[in-house]
Amino acid sequence: MAFNIILASNSPRRKELLSMAGFEFVVKSKNVEENHPDGMKQEKIPVHLAQKKAKALLSEITDNEIVIGADTIVLLNEKIYGKPIDREDAISMLTALSGQIHEVITGVCILSKQKEILFSETTKVYFNKLKREEIEFYVDNYKTFDKAGSYACQEWIGAVAIKRFEGDYFNVVGLPINRVYQELKNF
């Protein structure tokens, strides 16, 4: 059976990655509260949120539709860095990440009326030490407010501040597309 794919995300990066992999899809998303049960292990949170985003559409899909939900977090010293609320928050996040090794975890939920697959990918990101002026330049010249950890590795900051990645680069962009591709092939 051929499935129609629905991406439960408005992320331009996730749209770009699914298109790059050759998938045709439509975007439908609902606002869901991005909360989680107290005491949930941090590495489980993105999978939980991805599942909430996908399941928000479950009652609206047909038997030949698949929903892909995803959520990405940045984790440093057991603290989650989500999307910044303002300029100072973005600067604060990037200052904390500067000179550190952090993890980017993307949770994915692929579901249909018959089946559900949940997984996450983790990538380690090695940041150079940044001066405050460099951080302010990035925050003031790039749209950082819709990105976990206040940065996008495919922009200026990735070119000058990220020493290396351990794991899937595209996971840091917002979707572990290789794994998604394999899972959809087997779906």
Residue recorded with tokens 């996040």: 93
Contacts of 164 (CB under 8 A, 6+ apart): 126
Q: Decide: 157 and 167 in contact? Cβ < 8 Å.
A: no
**Helices 87-97/132-141 angle, 10° precision:** 130
Reply yes or no on whether 146 is catalytic: no
Q: Decide: 131 and 98 in contact? Cβ < 8 Å.
A: no
Catalytic residue among 63, 71, 89, 140: 71
Active site residues: 71
